[in-house]
Amino acid sequence: MSAIDFNDKITPVILCGGSGTRLWPLSRKSYPKQFANLIGDRSLFQGTAGRMSGENFNAPIVLTNSDFRFIVTEQLMEIGIDPGAIMLEPEGRNTAPAILAAALWMQKHEQGGLMLVAPSDHAIPDVDAFRAMVDRGAEAAREGQLITFGVVPDRAETGYGYLELSRVPEADEDGFIPLSKFVEKPDADNAVRMMASGQHLWNAGLFLFAPETIIAAFEQHMPDMVGHVRQSLEEGKPDLGFFRLAQEPWQNLEDISIDYAVMEKADNIGAVPFNHGWSDLGGWDAVWREMEQTDGGVALSGAATAIDCENTMLRSEESSIEVVGIGLKDIVTIAMADAVLVADASRSQDVKQAVTALKKKEAKQAELFRKDHRPWGWFESLVIGERFQVKRIMVHPGAALSLQSHHHRSEHWIVVEGTAKVTVDDTVTLVSENQSIYVPLGAVHRMENPGKVPMVLIEIQTGSYLGEDDIIRYEDVYARD
């Protein structure tokens, strides 16, 4: 294959539409692990975007879904990154359609260069080593190769897929090596054998190639997918700074990973080894390994205390909940306001079974948090009774809730931080700290934050039905139905 025309910059493509369950209760469908601060003071998504930013990178293309679109923009703004495009998938179809959509987007907009595809929920602490790895793969990618990055294993891991290289790397060799095949997650004996061989890497799910190269691979191996994704792009529509892929052609797509769709079939594929720390944080045992530990292997986070414990993780995600462990060994404990997980560390991969069990008993904690993130801020339920509910609501500076009314409830708002601009029918009032206002049943109303600091209020709802679907929207700056 001939060399690809390119510019010097690389376009990051960040995949963040997933909602894994293995890190429950911190990760849930409504706010999954990529947006949480699992390690350090940034979310995994922010860490991903941050290490793929700077003078050698273009603005990122982000693939996500409608539910997470405002979380994506908010978290990028917090770290000073302006996205190039945020594409909204109508529904999850695994990594192959998403990556193809990004490649076709770049082709359509004549954006040359290479695209660096990355999951949004991995931990890679050494940013400089990561960027050096990308540089080592760039030359081969510009020559028309499909590049995947593999992690040099430091243990016989059964939770990861592997990459089998065409040969054993020489000492300190860290450049492009042709790939022999992809290997599924092995049993324990095969994991030991592959690690000993020196010819296998963990499959990190990171890829580097030119848009033209990956599109050509799809046209060869998955031609029907190219037609459907291209149609979804052509029929898609801009929406408040996002781009919504068209739903009908997207529904015709196979749910398939990039590995199965293209990579395992391609003959122009190779790997670049990485040996500087990586984790997909696929379970609480993986999080424990990445956390700072005492000599006895104890990792603590938040309001947590360990006494005579060994190889144990204690995390409190609520400052008001103190977690204390005494005489524990190989135990994981995660405490949140509405759920607590206590598990044997060796069973960390089975946490998803807890989510399944909670779904069967219709427990809200299976998928929903007490705190609900919205484009204007968030709210959390403090107390729920038969005919009343008490919420705490935070509104970002300059943000506004929709103009709305309710059939079944009235509301009483008490401002505790900042100032609220409140519309009730034809009356507009500024409500400051320690002041309150009443919204009668059926009144058309809106709450705004006209200030430069977050506004917090306590809302008391009373009525015969208090569900979030009792909202009639008349105007909404976020174009929600």
Domain CATH number, residue 404: 2.60.120.10
pLDDT of the residue at 226:
97
Percent of the chain with pLDDT over 90: 85
Same domain, 401 and 338: no
Same domain, 356 and 380: no
Output 371 or 138, whichever has higher pLDDT. Answer: 138
pLDDT of the residue at 5:
46
* 6, pLDDT greater than 50: no
- Among the candidates 274, 297, 330, a domain finishes at 274
* 371, pLDDT greater than 90: no
Same domain, 353 and 267: no
At residue 240 the predicted structure's pLDDT band, cuts being 50, 70 and 90, is: confident
Nearest to 201 by CA among 249, 239, 167: 167
Same domain, 263 and 300: no
Q: How far apart are CA 204 and CA 382, in angstroms?
A: 41
Does residue 366 lie in a domain region? Answer: no
pLDDT of the residue at 478:
84
Structure tokens at 460: 């008391």
- Among the candidates 243, 274, 305, a domain finishes at 274
* 1, pLDDT greater than 70: no
pLDDT of the residue at 481:
62
Same domain, 353 and 379: no
Residues forming beta bridges with residue 65, ordered by sequence position: 89
CB 164 within 8 A of CB 126: no
**Helices 95-108 + 223-235 axis angle, to 10:** 60
Same domain, 159 and 230: yes
Same domain, 18 and 111: yes
Mean pLDDT for the stretch of residues 171-197: 90
Mean pLDDT for the stretch of residues 149-163: 92
Same domain, 257 and 297: no
List, for residues 419-449, the tens digit of each pLDDT value. 999 999 999 999 999 999 999 999 999 999 9
List, for residues 297-331, the tens digit of each pLDDT value. 999 999 999 999 999 999 999 999 999 999 999 99
The pairs formed by 317-323 with CB atoms below 8 angstroms and a separation of 24 or more are 317/26
* 4, pLDDT greater than 70: no
Does residue 481 lie in a domain region? Answer: no
CA–chain centroid gap for 455, Å, is: 27
How many domains does the structure of the chain reveal? 3
Which of 17-21, 153-157, 372-376, 434-438 tops mean pLDDT?
434-438
Residues forming beta bridges with residue 310, ordered by sequence position: 329
CB 210 within 8 A of CB 311: no
CA–chain centroid gap for 116, Å, is: 17
Residues forming beta bridges with residue 299, ordered by sequence position: 313
Does residue 269 lie in a domain region? Answer: yes
- Among the candidates 254, 274, 294, a domain finishes at 274
Show the domain range for 356: 285-360
Same domain, 322 and 450: no
Does residue 2 lie in a domain region? Answer: no
pLDDT of the residue at 172:
77
Mean pLDDT for the stretch of residues 219-237: 97
Nearest to 114 by CA among 142, 146, 137: 142
* 47, pLDDT greater than 90: yes
CA 343 to each of CA 22, 331, 445, 447: distance values in angstroms, whole numbers, following the listed order: 12, 6, 46, 43
Nearest to 204 by CA among 118, 96, 135: 118
Give the chain's mean pLDDT: 93
Residues forming beta bridges with residue 63, ordered by sequence position: 15, 87
* 480, pLDDT greater than 80: no
Does residue 207 lie in a domain region? Answer: yes
Mean pLDDT for the stretch of residues 143-172: 92
At residue 279 the predicted structure's pLDDT band, cuts being 50, 70 and 90, is: very high
Same domain, 310 and 417: no
Mean pLDDT for the stretch of residues 104-122: 94
List, for residues 446-477, the tens digit of each pLDDT value. 999 999 999 999 999 999 999 988 999 999 88
* 2, pLDDT greater than 50: no
Same domain, 67 and 101: yes
* 406, pLDDT greater than 60: yes
* 3-state secondary structure labels for all residues of 370-422: CEEEECCEEEEEEEECCCEEEEEEEECCCCECCEEECCCEEEEEEEEECCEEE
